[in-house]
Amino acid sequence: MENAKNEEFVAFICSNCHQEIEAPLATVGQQVECPACGTKLVVPSPDQAPTQAQLDAMKSRTIRIELSDL
């Protein structure tokens, strides 16, 4: 998993349970399931994602989606 350390992620918030999620930039536009509640979501582009201040406020609740999870 050495590549995962260098990989860039986009962070977004589940519209159902408000869990913060991180997904690889390579998944932008793809449908994924929220790891916390199972809601189907589309990974947003970085310009549609929450602001850094919003992400910092929720950092302790982040779940990361790895490419191997898809």
Query: For the residues 27-51, what does the mean pLDDT come to?
Result: 90
Query: E strand or H helix at 52, and its extent?
Result: helix 52-58
Q: Identify the pLDDT of residue 1.
A: 37
Share of the chain above pLDDT 70, in %: 74
7 has pLDDT over 60: yes
**Statement: residue 56 has pLDDT above 60:** yes
The token pair that represents 17 in the structure block: 């349970």
| Residue 13 host element (H or E) | strand 9-13
Assess whether pLDDT exceeds 80 at residue 45.
yes
If one compares 36 and 65, the residue with the highest pLDDT of the two is 36
pLDDT of the residue at 3: 44
Lookup: tokens for 19 = 């869990």
